[in-house]
Chain A
Amino acid sequence: DVKVTQSSRYLVKRTGEKVFLECVQDMDHENMFWYRQDPGLGLRLIYFSYDVKMKEKGDIPEGYSVSREKKERFSLILESASTNQTSMYLCASSLKGEQYFGPGTRLTVT
């Protein structure tokens, strides 16, 4: 079974803080993704990575950056958190086709 884990289920941060969300997969998948999920907006792609140290912008990259130093780990970074980044963040990985999701991190920025 593919396992995708995320560092926190719930996180509360203050405006202006630097926030790190981490995702780890154990199936040697090449591709990893970060989405945010908001009611009525579905799953929107922030960034994805198809190899170590490679990254590509998704549909809503503004205010975010990512890091992939090891194949199994993909980090999402909010350089200066803002209240409009309060959301559910989902990580996923894939080899070919099916994406496997992590449990999500509900981030609240106050």
Chain B
Amino acid sequence: GENVEQHPSTLSVQEGDSAVIKCTYSDSASNYFPWYKQELGKRPQLIIDIRSNVGEKKDQRIAVTLNKTAKHFSLHITETQPEDSAVYFCAARAFGNEKLTFGTGTRLTIIP
């Protein structure tokens, strides 16, 4: 089955700096890669996703890049703000399969 590894497990950055979280996956059939944000005490929510037919996707201050050859994808957050502090999860899903395999999460702390 699919295996998703996520690094780092914790990340602290100064407010205004950029943050990068990286994930690798094992199943070459995976073609959908979402990122979820979970604020303290709240449910995970989708913030951005990418499909295997594109290499990069942006939405304001967040972007995701995908390298299918190397089987890794990354979340980039620019101009970080205190409200970006949360746990971020990457995930992967194969075509025709509704099941997501999640990474172990990254706790991002923005230092004011």
Tell me the A residues contacting B by CB distance below 8 Å. Answer: 31, 33, 35, 40-45, 48, 50, 56, 58-59, 90, 94, 96-99, 101-104
- Contact among A42, A48, A94, A99 with B103 in the assembled complex (CB-CB below 8 Å): A42
How far is it, in angstroms, between the C-alpha of A33 and the C-alpha of B97 when the chains are bound? 13
Number of B interface residues at 8 Å Cβ cutoff, please give it: 20
Q: Looking at the assembled complex, report how far the CB atom of A33 sits from the nearest CB atom of chain B, in whole angstroms.
A: 8
Main secondary structure on B side of the interface with A: loop
Are the C-beta atoms of B98 and A31 separated by less than 8 Å?
Answer: yes
Given contacts A97-B32, A97-B49, A98-B34, contact A42 B44 (CB under 8 A): no
Chain A residues in 8 Å Cβ range of B94: none
Closest 8 CB pairs of A and B: A42-B104, A101-B43, A43-B102, A31-B98, A42-B102, A42-B105, A101-B44, A98-B46
Closest Cβ neighbor of A39 among chain B residues = B105
Cβ of B42: which chain A residues have Cβ within 8 Å of it? 103
How close is A7's CB to chain B, nearest CB, in angstroms?
A: 15
| Alpha-carbon distance between A99 and B63 when the two chains are bound, in angstroms | 20
Could you tell me if B100 and A99 are in contact, using CB atoms closer than 8 angstroms?
Answer: yes
A41 to B32, CA, bound (A): 21
B112 near A: Cβ within 8 Å? no
**Which residues in A have their C-beta under 8 angstroms from that of B46?**
98-99
Q: Do B34 and A48 touch across chains, with their CB atoms under 8 A apart?
A: no
Query: Given A98-B46, A101-B43, A104-B43 in contact, is the A41-B100 Cβ separation under 8 Å?
Result: no
Q: Say if the beta carbon of B61 comes within 8 Å of chain A.
A: no
Set of chain B residues within 8 Å of A45, measured between Cβ atoms = 99-101
